[in-house]
Structure 1
Amino acid sequence: MIERIDTGTRMSKIVKHNGVAYLCGQVGDGATVADQTRDCLKRVDALLEKAGSSREQMLQVIVWLADMADFTEMNAVWDAWVPEGFAPARACGEAKLAREELKVEIIVTAAC
């Protein structure tokens, strides 16, 4: 069975299937990549909770940065957020994001 949560015409914020939650890409507000990463991860926390999951159940994360020069700054926030011993498989790359002011987008897949 597939469960779609907060579904609109373009996308669902969460899709659950076979005990796995797929979250739509999350972006955050703020002037710096650190600010945007913190806000983005706050939004990830809310979606994980809504999906019946948590940081400790993340399976895979994909991080898109508008500029790889921000990698260290983003990782400082990320490393403080991920519970020790529960780091997911993760990839990070550079991409042109949906709006010019965006610096980071994070996509999470987690067990429920």
Structure 2
Amino acid sequence: MAIRRLHSEPRYSEIVIHNGTVHLGGQLADDLSGDIRQQTRETLANIDRLLAEAGTDKTRILSTTIYLRDIATDFAAMNEVWDAWVAPGASPARATVEARLYAPEVRVEMMVIAALP
């Protein structure tokens, strides 16, 4: 089965589709000056957009890995936004970890794996 790569650069692809599964590269907010709630909302909007481009949506997310710059400070607020966004009855498997992200202003990054319809 063929592998499709969308929005590819030398180091990564934003979307990789293979064998009925969509893998999104790490997604960030567009505006990194905002607080965790704003960055989480923008990150989730980018995930929605890329999943739609790949032909699926958030109801088909299988797993999500969330990286937080400061889990002690940002976990609760990120979860408030996440809980409002996640489709009822379609909660994916999920892990949340604290990580040093590529720039100090990045508060959250998410990787998603979803199924195609």
Q: TM-score range by the shorter chain?
A: over 0.9
1:59 aligned residue: 62
The 2-side partners of 1:53 and 1:98 are apart by 28
Percent identical: 45
1:90 aligned residue: 94
CA-based RMSD: 0.7
Alignment length, in residue pairs? 112
1:73 aligned residue: 77
1:14 aligned residue: 15
1:26 aligned residue: 27
- The one of 67, 85, 109 aligned to 1:105: 109
SS in 2 for 1:107: strand
4+ runs deviating over 4 angstroms: none
2:40 aligned residue: 37
Q: Which runs of 5+ in 1 are unaligned?
A: none
SS in 1 for 2:48: helix
* TM superposition score normalised by structure 2: 0.93
User: 1:10 Cα shift?
Assistant: 1.3
Q: Which runs of 5+ in 2 are unaligned?
A: none
Query: Per-residue CA shift, 1:71-102, capped at 9, x if unaligned?
Result: 00000000000011000000000000011100
The 1-side partners of 2:71 and 2:12 are apart by 27
The 2-side partners of 1:58 and 1:19 are apart by 12
SS in 1 for 2:80: helix
The 1-side partners of 2:38 and 2:11 are apart by 27
SS in 1 for 2:104: coil
